[in-house]
Chain A
C-alpha cells in the first residue's frame, strides 16, 4: 500500500501473494519482515515457505 507523497490518496495497493495481507510502504515494521521470492514480494518468510509447500503438495496430488 503506497500513498501519494502528500498522503492525500493511495497510489497502489500491494498485497502478499500468499496470505493476501496489505503491505504498507510507510511501515518500518512491515518492511523488515518482507521477503522477495521469484520476483514477488511476500509479507514474510512463512508465506514463502507455505506457498512452496502448497505447490509441492498440489503437484504430487495431481501427479
Chain B
C-alpha cells in the first residue's frame, strides 16, 4: 500500500493530510482557497509534495455543491411535471417554520414559477397508465426552452414515477434528442421514493447543481489527469463514502454535504481509538461550523435533510447541523444598538482585516487576535503573518460606535459568537434528547480549539478533546474513508401476499447494480454488502429499517423478517400489533469497498520535563494574564498542563482557559477537563 492523500476544500482554506504506510507518518498542511476556482488551492497544495508518483489514492471533500445551494448560485432550472402539478414546489407541504412567528417568509424553491411546465400523461398509484404521455408536448417544450435560451438544466418529476418511470424516461429521451448537452435530472434516478414534493425538491436541487458541479469537476479531472492522478481521485459524498468525479458529477445532489462528513468519519475513528463512546464534534472553520454526534461509536445517517427549512434533499447523508458562523463571522451593530455577529462572513479573499488583504470588517478571528489568543506570527504555522494593527483598527471602529474599550469589545464579540455556536450544539444534543453531560466535545477546524473551553462551559459538556491536526480533521477523516454506494427501490408487498421470488430478484438486482457501480468506479476489492428492508404495519406511513441477512426470500427468511419487524417495532416504539398485516416499502442495499486504514503511532512517554516556549498576554474573563505558550510538537504522552495556557501548532491554537487542564493521551490527543 502506498500514500493516501486527504484533501478538504473549505470556504476559506484547503486542507491536506497524507499518510505513508511505509513509515506510518502522517503529514498535514493547508493553504487558502480561491472560492471562484477551488482547484487552484488544491494544485498549490500538491506542489508541496516532492513526488506524486507514490500516491495510491487522493480523496477530495468539497463544498462546491453546498455553497451553490446555500448562496443560491446554481443553474436556471426548468421543472417539467405532470399536468396540473407545476405548483407542487411552491405549495410545498403547507406548514410553517415556527408556530407563532408572524414575520416568517416562506422559503422559495430553486426554480422560478415561470419556468415550470406541465406535460399530459398520468400513471396511477397502482402503476396503470391512466393517460399516455403527450410526446408532442415534450417536443414543443424543448423548442420553447431552446428559443428561450436561458435555461441551464432541466428537472423532471412526474407523479408516481417511483411506481413506473416510463414517462420520465421518455421525457428525458426526447429532451436529450432535442436539447443536446442540456443537463437533465429525473426523479426516478435521484430519489425513487413516494411523496412528490420531497422527490421534486431533491430532483430540482440535483438539476440546479449539475452545471456548476460538472464544470468544476471537469476542470479538476483535467488537472488531476495532468498530474497523473486522474484515476486515483475520489470525491466524498454526503453519505460519507467515496465516488469518482465523473459519477459524482452525474448525481451532484449526492454532494450536498461532502466536506463536513470527513470530520464525522474521523470522530468515529477517534471513538474507536480512545474508547470514548459518545462524542460531539464541533468543526469550526472560517465561514461555517458543523456539529454532529457519534453515539455509542456510530455516526447518525439521515434522509430528512433540508438545505433550508422547507427545502428537503432526501438522499442518505450523515446527520450534520451546519450554521453560518465561523472565524470569519463579521461584527455589526443592529438598529437597536446591539452588537451582533454574522451571519455575514468574510470569505478567504479579502478575508478578515488581519489577513491584510484589504478586508475592513472586524471578524471573530480579529477579536481573537486583539485578545492575544491567536498569535499574528504563528498563523498557518508561521507561513502567513497576520496584521495585528488591522485587527485592532477594525475592532476599534465597532468599539467606538458602542462606546467600549477595544479589548472589552473584542471579548463581547467572542462571547456572542460562542453563543451563536451553542445553538448548533443544542440542535444535535438537547434537541435530540441527548444530555451534554454524557459527551466529550471534539474541537476541530482551525478555530475549534480556540473556542473549545468557552463552549464546554456554556454547553455543560464536561470534557473536551483536541485531536492531532485539528485544522485538517476532515481531510484526516478522508484518508480513512471507504467507497460506498447506497441503492434503494420501492418494492411494495404485504405479509398477506408476499411473492418471495420477486423479492429475491429485486434485491439481487439492487446488489448487482451497487456492485457494478463500485466496479465501474474502479473499486473491486473487499466489497461488503448490507441488505435491508423498510417495512411498516399496513396503514402506517413511516417505515422501520430491518437488516436482511441472506440472499434469498424463502419460507424461513420471510417468516424471520415478519418476526423481526414485530420485535423491532416493540423495541423502537414500545408496542407491537401481533397478527397485523405488514407491508414492505423499500429495499435498500449499501455496498462498501473497504479501504485499508492507517495505524496510529503511539506518542513517546513524557519525561516530565515539558517547558513553555514563550509567554504572552491574553485576555480572559477576569482580565489580562501573562500566559505560557507551549509548542504542540513538544508534548509527550501523559504530559499535563494547567490553564491558563496556549498550545500552538501549525494550523491552530488550543486555548486552555483558567480553571481548565489538559492531559495528553496515548496518540497525542489533548484531553481537556474543567
Asked if A and B form a direct contact in the complex, defined as CB atoms under 8 angstroms apart, the reply is: no
Interfacial residues, chain A to chain B (CB-CB below 8 A): none
Interfacial residues, chain B to chain A (CB-CB below 8 A): none
